[in-house]
Structure 1
Amino acid sequence: MIGWLIYREEDAIHNAAYIKWFQEEAYKQGLSLKLIYREDLHIGVCDHKRSVYHEVHDLPVFAVVRTREPLLTALLESLGIRCFNTSTVARICNDKALTYHHVVEAGIAIPDTVFTDISMLITSPPPFPYPFIIKSRDGHGGQEVWLIQNSTQLEELKNATLKESVIVQRPAQFGKDVRVFIVGNQIVSAVLRHNAKDFKSNYSLGGSAALYELSIEEQQAVHGILDLFQFDLAGIDFMFSNDGTLLFNEIEDVVGSRTLSEVSSINLLEMYCTHIKETLKNK
Structure 2
Amino acid sequence: MKKQAGWLIYNREDALKNKGYIDWMLDEASKLDLDLHFHFREDLRIGHRFNKLYVEHEMQPISLPDFAIVRTIDPFFTKQLEQLGIACFNSAFVSEIANDKAKTHQYLSSLGIPMADTVYCNGRPSANDMELPFIAKETSGRGGKQVFLIEHADDLAQLNDGNWIVQKPGLFGRDIRVFVVGNKVKAAVLRESASSFKANYTLGGSASLYELTASELALVERVMRSFDFGMVGIDFIFAEDGSLMLNEIEDVVGSRTLSALSDMNIVWEYLTFIKESISSS
TM-score (norm 2): 0.94
- In structure 2, which of residues 55, 67, 84 is the aligned counterpart of residue 52 of structure 1? 55
Distance in 1 separating the partners of 2:187 and 2:224 = 14
- In structure 1, which of residues 142, 147, 150 is the aligned counterpart of residue 149 of structure 2? 147
Is residue 101 from structure 1 mapped to residue 106 from structure 2 by the alignment? Answer: yes
Q: Which residue of 2 aligns with 1:134?
A: 136
Question: How many aligned positions are there?
Answer: 276
Distance in 2 separating the partners of 1:47 and 1:202 = 48
Structure 1 position 143, deviation (Å): 1.1
Q: List gaps (5 residues or longer) in structure 2.
A: none
Q: Which residue of 2 aligns with 1:178?
A: 176
Structure 1 position 112, deviation (Å): 0.1
- Contact 2:119–2:130 (8 Å) recurs in 1: no
Aligned AA (1:48)? N
SS of 1:74 mapped into structure 2: helix
Distance in 2 separating the partners of 1:207 and 1:241 = 19
Structure 1 position 197, deviation (Å): 1.8
Distance in 2 separating the partners of 1:19 and 1:196 = 33
In the TM superposition, what are the counterparts of 1:18-167 in structure 2 within 5 Å?
18-55=21-58, 57-119=62-124, 121-122=125-126, 126-154=128-156, 156-158=157-159, 161-163=160-162, 165-167=163-165
Q: Deviations over 1:8-58 (max 9, x none)?
A: 111101000011111111111111221110111111222322221113643
Q: Deviations over 1:52-88 (max 9, x none)?
A: 1113643221100011110010000000101001111
Report the aligned-residue RMSD: 1.4
TM-score (norm 1): 0.94
Q: Out of 66-75 and 192-201, give the one that drifted further.
A: 192-201
- Contact 2:134–2:151 (8 Å) recurs in 1: yes
Q: Percent identity?
A: 47
- Contact 2:235–2:248 (8 Å) recurs in 1: yes
Q: List gaps (5 residues or longer) in structure 1.
A: none
Distance in 2 separating the partners of 1:151 and 1:117 = 17
Aligned AA (2:277)? T
Aligned AA (2:235)? D
Structure 1 position 241, deviation (Å): 1.3
